Amino acid sequence: MKEGQTKRLLEILPGLISWFIILFLFALLFINPLVLAVILIIYLIYWACKLFYMTLLLLIAHHRMSSSKNIEWFERCKLIKSDLNINDIIHIVLYPIYKEPKKLLEDSMNALKDTRYSKDRMILVLAGEERDKYSHGKLEEIKEEFKRYFKDILITIHPKDTEGEIPSKGANATYAAKKVKDYLELNGYDLKNVIISTFDADTCPDKNYFCCLTYHFLSNKKRYQTSFQPLPIYNNNIYRVPAFARVIEIGSTFCQLVESMRYEKFITFSSHSMSFKTLVDVDYWPVNLISDDSLIFWKCFLKFNGDYMTYPLEVPVYMDIAVGRNVFHTIAVQYKQKRRWAWGVENFAFIGINFINNKNIKLSVKIKRLFQLLDSHVNWATWAFIISFIMPFVLFWGKVTMKNALVFFNLSYINGTIFNIFTFIIILSIILSRQFLPPRPKDVSRLIYITFILQWLFVPIISAFLGSTPALDAQTRLMFGNYLSFYRTPKAR
């Protein structure tokens, strides 16, 4: 089979499996409801175990993060015994920018300049797009405003309509990183000592971010085979967005917290950091694919024949909750953002093809990694349909057609138990989410805290309609070769 055909097959496979599961369960409702009830009971037990497991991971991750709060990372950096010295390290902070408002960029720059790390070891890269005609002027103004705080500020403008590229963050970041390489080489920096952090335009790093990152870079023996992933906390504009959007993004933060504890399958997501040398070695981010943030991990994974990992940093970065002009636009924005995240399913075909071509990675590792990726995307695309639509329909159908069948009665009972577990987890989430809240702006009433509790009532609706639909949409588009174009999430505060 030709590589192109294999790639198409791998693109079709996740969507095919997801649709098969959903349609098979619906068909089974009419063919053999008893078998369906048994399958759903097993599925619910799986979910109960998974919910407990994920809740414990959430608590462990939360403990890991909160217990690291008082660590003096900078002191640790100075004391660490390493082949590298803290003074050798140069940080490149790359912000790919496209049409983000100046105010938002200024906030990010302010957060960056307020970090505890020495700014004379920090070079800021503002990567604009030629497609944004106001880009250059806006970036020049920001450079002028902030240049005194950093070692240097570089501005790059990614030319539009470059052959072989799609308009994406990855293409812009790659163009900028190549310019940075030239700059570093010109100024005699050793690329081995350079850490690059690529941040979304709204990313405000925690004060300790660069100290923590530097410490882990220095202390890690496989520093060139490691990406460093901060926890993205979506709270920059949390007091200004609709309640349901808050719930969705708190959910995203929690998911990332849980994932950070699954070391063996943890991969880069959104804003992250890595060795600049490694970035150059793997030929930068992909320029023709959407999910550049996760694909860079897989490129490194393949380059180092599977000996590459993502390390979860204890220190977070703060980002914006995607928000639109009004509630309905916010729903659309949230949907499109989640669909873009779910487009990460394109990684399956990418790594599938590359695994075939790479003979140095163990077969068991390849199978495990492919299965993990397939499992997470198929689960994402199906769970909400099964729990929110198929399950109630089956319970209703069972009541109508097989009123006295014990298995349907027990299915209903187990389903109720799962919801009780879910309620417990929501209460836990309310408590944990309080700790991620930034100080309340003065112009916002205290009464908003009531909505911070009531907002959790949206969870069943959000789960039903935004839980799986974006993922299934993304997989279906990929199945039919209807490739997604990069969606720039609107940022507003």
Partner 1 sequence: MKDENYLILRKIFFWIFFISFIVIVPILVFYSLGYKFDVKSKKISRTGTISLKSSPEDAKIFLNGIKLNNTTPDVLSGLVPQDYAIRLEKDDFYPYQLHAKLMPSSVSEFNITLIPKIKYIEKLEPDFNIYKFFISKHFYGNKVIAFTDQGIYYLDDDFKNDKKISAQSINKDVASNIEEVLEGDDKLIAWSKNGIWIIDNGNITLIYKPEELIKNVFFGLKERYLLIQDWLNIVALDVENPSTYYPILKLKDKDANIFYDSGSEILYIRDKITGTETYSLYRSKLRHLIHERGTDQKAP
The overall longest dimension of the chain from CA atoms, in Å, is: 80
Tokens of 63: 């403990």
Whether 319 contacts 236, CB under 8 Å: yes
* 3-state secondary structure at position 307: coil
414 is a site residue for partner 1 (CB under 8 A): yes
Angle at 118 between CA 113 and CA 124, to 5 degrees: 50
List the one residue from 12, 57, 356, 365 that touches partner 1 (CB under 8 A): 57
Whether 489 contacts 333, CB under 8 Å: yes
Phi, psi of 291 (to 5 degrees): -85, 65
424 is a site residue for partner 1 (CB under 8 A): no
Backbone φ/ψ region at 397: left (φ over 0), alpha (ψ -120 to 50), beta: alpha
User: Looking only at residues 229 through 288 of this chain, which bind partner 1 when binding is defined by CB under 8 A?
Assistant: 261-263
411 is a site residue for partner 1 (CB under 8 A): yes
Q: CB-wise, 300 or 411, nearer to partner 1? A: 411
56 is a site residue for partner 1 (CB under 8 A): yes
* 3-state secondary structure at position 321: coil
Q: How many residues bind partner 1 (CB under 8 A)?
A: 28
List the one residue from 52, 328, 371, 396 that touches partner 1 (CB under 8 A): 52
- CA-atom Rg of the chain in angstroms: 23
Residue 82: CB minimum distance to partner 1, A? 17
Q: CB-wise, 143 or 262, nearer to partner 1? A: 262
434 is a site residue for partner 1 (CB under 8 A): no
404 is a site residue for partner 1 (CB under 8 A): yes
80 is a site residue for partner 1 (CB under 8 A): no
User: Looking only at residues 20 through 49 of this chain, which bind partner 1 when binding is defined by CB under 8 A?
Assistant: 37-38, 41-42, 45-46, 49
Residue 25: CB minimum distance to partner 1, A? 17
Residue 53: CB minimum distance to partner 1, A? 4
- Give, in order, the Cα–Cα distances in Å from 437 to each of 236, 240, 249, 412, 424: 9, 13, 12, 37, 21
* 3-state secondary structure at position 446: coil
Q: CB-wise, 23 or 56, nearer to partner 1? A: 56
List the one residue from 1, 363, 400, 406 that touches partner 1 (CB under 8 A): 406
53 is a site residue for partner 1 (CB under 8 A): yes
Strands 226-234 and 194-198: unpaired
User: Looking only at residues 117 through 176 of this chain, which bind partner 1 when binding is defined by CB under 8 A?
Assistant: none
71 is a site residue for partner 1 (CB under 8 A): no
**Hey, how many other C-beta atoms are within 10 angstroms of the C-beta on 420?**
9
* 3-state secondary structure at position 123: strand
- Give, in order, the Cα–Cα distances in Å from 367 to each of 51, 265, 348, 364, 402: 25, 13, 12, 5, 42
432 is a site residue for partner 1 (CB under 8 A): no
Residue 106: CB minimum distance to partner 1, A? 36
Binding site for partner 1 (CB under 8 A): 37-38, 41-42, 45-46, 49-50, 52-53, 56-57, 60, 63-64, 67, 261-263, 404-407, 409-411, 413-414
